[in-house]
Chain A
Amino acid sequence: MPPYAGPSAARAGDVAGTLRLLAYLALSVTLIVLDHRGGWLHQARQQAGLVVGPLLAVAGWPGRMAERLRDDAGTLSQLSVENRRLRNELLVNHARMARMTTVAADNARLRDLLDTARRGSLDVQLAPVLDVDLDPTRQRLLLDAGSSDGVRTGQSVIDAGGLLGQVIDVTPMHSTVLLLTDADHAVPVAIARNGVRLVAYGRGRSDTLALASIPLSSDVKVGDMVVTSGLGGRFPPGFPVGEITALRPDESRAFLVGDLRPAAQLDRGRDVLLLRSAPARAPIGPVDANVDPAATGDESGVAATAGQGADGRAAGSNATDQPTTTSTTARAAPGNGAPATEPVNKAANRTTHKPALQPVSKPATQRTTQPRETRR
């Protein structure tokens, strides 16, 4: 059809064009409906897809290029933003983890305490620590439990590791614990391995105790576990006190002095256990029956040996005075003090007529088995 046709020709062309349009329209509408309704065009479309695939790939190429370019160009800023974000997250996560660690440690400690109480089927009472007083002259704890909670003076205080100290002062709401490591504190102990009896003194430092006047001939070695001997009745026997970390001759060269690392965690934890009575089912039967009155006991008798706090040394010297009057202060004169400890026990063995001491001396011989059990 010529571009510039006359009016009549154009009209004829118009009619023909309209008819063709209608035909094509009908065709396309049919196709649309067919495609929309049924899926029979699916096959054809899949075949076409094979041809169209490369077309799509070519079409996608500039997009991929642009994307790569943008990636490369935006890398620095993106990375720095991401870096900042990740750093923040790291901080937050660290904080979270630190909290979790604390909680986990708490949990472990409480579990230990619970375990301790359960293991020896001890009658204990959990007491929160209110205040800690750790300086060279005073090593004390203030507990948030007092006489209204059943706390009494003289009770032994332990934690998961071992002996902590003893209660020396009780008010209705609070009580004060003298720690093993107080310079005024001494506790009668025995080597767990062989039952050699010694006295452990506090030094005013929370990480060490002193063993004084160890006879050169006695079988004491570095690494030995030291447990309470129960002598004197103030502390029940068999609680871990510490481990010997060093032994050296004293000035007189006649005795050894030793360093002891406390078994209890004196500078850690927020709760302690107050021992209400000695192990109910300890391996040695008669001990418990007799230690009980001693532990609950009156400070009147011989029960107050070396472990009685500020005036403990005086009491201790009283106790040691019985067999031999020579020892005034065990630490000041180790040469004299050392034999003093030995006679104490001999005296204990000899003076079997004394009810308080008699049972205590028995476990001294059998102690080799007992502490092992408490140590597991």
Chain B
Amino acid sequence: MRTHSHWVLPVSLLVALLLGLLPLPPMLQPLRPYWLALVVAYWVIEDPNRVGLGFAFLVGLLADLSFGSLFGEQALRLLVMAFILQRFRARLRFFPLSQQALAIGGLLLNDRIIVAAVQIVLGKPSLPAMFWLAPLAGMVLWAPVFLLLDALRLGNWRRR
């Protein structure tokens, strides 16, 4: 895999963090997709040599610091997702984009379950019902994110 655009990885992470911090109107707030998960998923699938569990863990800690969430929570979530992606990477790579999106949707749903589990274990108030719709937004956004990052990384639009 050619990796002649080294700047794309950090920039994409930074943008994902910013998008996660972007203030949204209260109505859209629960629908905010987990941008960071999409970006990390892309890099885990496309650049496994550089991006692994440790990378996901560190990115998660960074996100925890920026978002002000529980220290380690996002690290845990991204870690689990990265691990599952690594396991199914070989199959996922050759899925058409729509099926990939479905798989990512499943992973995001799993992510939500982890969040809910953490909340319950720690005795925090449970999340609103709208909260479970966020994976849908992430699923829909997977294709554009994937195509955009691919284009930036490879320098041209890939045909799929």
Contact B18 A36 (CB under 8 A): no
**Chain B CB within 8 A of A48 CB:** yes
Contact A52 B79 (CB under 8 A): no
**Chain B CB within 8 A of A12 CB:** no
**Chain A CB within 8 A of B71 CB:** yes
User: Interface on chain B toward A: helix, strand, loop, or mixed SS?
Assistant: helix
Interface residue range, chain A: 20 to 34
Q: Measured between C-beta atoms, what is the minimum distance from A52 to chain B in Å?
A: 5
Per the bound structure, the CA–CA distance linking A45 and B68 in Å amounts to 8
Contact B83 A17 (CB under 8 A): yes
Per the bound structure, the CA–CA distance linking A164 and B24 in Å amounts to 75
With contacts A55-B66, A62-B22 known, is A28 near B76, CB below 8 A? yes
A200-217 interface (Cβ within 8 A of B): none
Partner of B87 from the list A14, A35, A41, A56 (CB cut-off 8 Å) is: A14
User: Interface on chain A toward B: helix, strand, loop, or mixed SS?
Assistant: helix
A1-36 interface (Cβ within 8 A of B): 1, 3-4, 14, 17-18, 20-21, 24-25, 27-32, 34-36
Q: Measured between C-beta atoms, what is the minimum distance from B53 to chain A in Å?
A: 5
With contacts A3-B48, A20-B53, A32-B72 known, is A58 near B18, CB below 8 A? yes
Partner of A28 from the list B24, B66, B79, B122 (CB cut-off 8 Å) is: B79
Contact A31 B72 (CB under 8 A): yes
Interface size of B by CB at 8 A reads 34
**Chain A CB within 8 A of B65 CB:** yes
Partner of B18 from the list A20, A30, A55 (CB cut-off 8 Å) is: A55
Contact A28 B60 (CB under 8 A): yes
**Chain A CB within 8 A of B141 CB:** no
**Chain B CB within 8 A of A332 CB:** no
**Chain A CB within 8 A of B106 CB:** no
Contact B23 A60 (CB under 8 A): yes
Per the bound structure, the CA–CA distance linking A275 and B97 in Å amounts to 104
Most chain A beta-carbon contacts within 10 A, residue among B24, B53, B60, B71: B71
Which B positions have Cβ atoms within 8 angstroms of A?
1, 17-24, 48-49, 52-54, 57, 60-61, 65-66, 68, 70-73, 75-76, 79-80, 83, 86-87, 90, 118, 122
Give me 15 other A-B pairs in contact (C-beta within 8 A), A30-B72, A35-B72, A59-B17 excluded: A1-B48, A17-B87, A24-B57, A24-B75, A24-B79, A27-B57, A28-B57, A28-B73, A31-B71, A31-B75, A34-B71, A34-B72, A56-B66, A59-B21, A60-B21
Between-chain CB contacts (< 8 Å), 8 pairs: A3-B1, A21-B79, A27-B57, A31-B61, A55-B17, A59-B18, A60-B21, A60-B22
